[in-house]
Amino acid sequence: MLPFPIIDEPNTSEENRFKYRYLDLRRRKVLDNVLFRSQMTTFTRNWFTAHDFIDVQTPIFTVSSPEGARDFLVPSRVNPGQCYALPQAPQQYKQLLMIGGIDKYFQIAPCFRDEDPRADRHSCEFYQIDCEMSFVQQEDIYNIVQGFLRDLVPALTPHKKIVVDFKRLTYREAIDQYGSDKPDLRFTMPLIEMTEDFKTSGFSVFQEAANNGSTIKAIRIENKLLTRKEADELTELVRKNGAKGMAYIILDPEETKGSIAKFLSPEEIANIKAKT
């Protein structure tokens, strides 16, 4: 008897599926992931090769070259007491390739990092599309990466769309609008700068904050009236994440209300409407 049925949604734990991985691979859902990765790597190699990049596999056993995490070490049999390190990225090797005259290099590189798992990669190893070019400008990098993505998406996922023009944000713009240097631009409620607007406000809490080096941001929530409970929960959330507090106003067509509405002048409310 099989440890779990080979069906789309077997009623079993993830640990059990991994224990019997050879059976789990017979499920179409799992196999499709393997096939998709195969198509992705094949497309990637063909695309970069067609654009005059040379595929070079750099060494796995190397000397330690610390980056953002701890190295994985492998004891040396012929040199007792010494170790090889597994590469966190092929950084030094690809730069040596540039010096050696291979001016357009790429590989689908394994990277090994002794760190905790992250949302976008495995805890100890992951693969990245690694490339390097000599004597190029920033625009050359944009053209290669964006060209690759423009061709990749319709080729592998024709049911999905990709924008023709990639939006560019400076680091400062990203932090100011999203609070992150790698924002998800699908998030449609960016932060709106309001600090300067409240430096002369009659609302003393905002005025003091604006003039004492703090930052005041607004977020517009469309088609949603916050209840007092929801507002209190959000206020507690922002405090836990380092903000001093949160205030809100409800811009109802008939009246403006909310926790600070009575402290704001008609001109300030009109300005909030305009900026949000």
Share above pLDDT 70 across residues of the chain, in percent, rounded to a whole number:
99
- Using the predicted structure, report yes or no on whether residue 227 has a pLDDT greater than 90: no
Q: What is the mean pLDDT of residues 227-252?
A: 88
> Residue 152 has what pLDDT?
95
Contact 191, 219 (CB under 8 A): yes
What would the pLDDT profile of 22-71 be if each residue is shown by its tens digit?
999 999 999 999 999 999 999 999 999 999 999 999 999 988 877 778 89
Predicted TM-score (pTM) of this structure: 0.76
Structure tokens at 10: 């077997």
- Using the predicted structure, report yes or no on whether residue 144 has a pLDDT greater than 90: yes
Structure tokens at 57: 């596999």
What would the pLDDT profile of 178-209 be if each residue is shown by its tens digit?
989 999 988 889 999 999 999 999 889 999 99
Single out the residue of 177, 178, 154 nearest to residue 164, CA to CA.
154
Contact 272, 218 (CB under 8 A): yes
Return phi, psi of residue 119, to 5°.
-65, -30
> Residue 69 has what pLDDT?
84
Altogether, the residues listed in the chain come to a count of 276
What is the domain partition of the chain in residue ranges?
A: 54-134, 186-275
- Using the predicted structure, report yes or no on whether residue 143 has a pLDDT greater than 90: yes
Radius of gyration of the chain measured on its C-alpha atoms: 27
Q: How far apart are CA 35 and CA 268, in angstroms?
A: 57
Single out the residue of 125, 123, 124 nearest to residue 110, CA to CA.
125
The HSE-up count of residue 126 (CA atoms within 13 Å, CB side) is: 15
Residue whose pair of structure tokens reads 């949302």 in the numeric block: 119
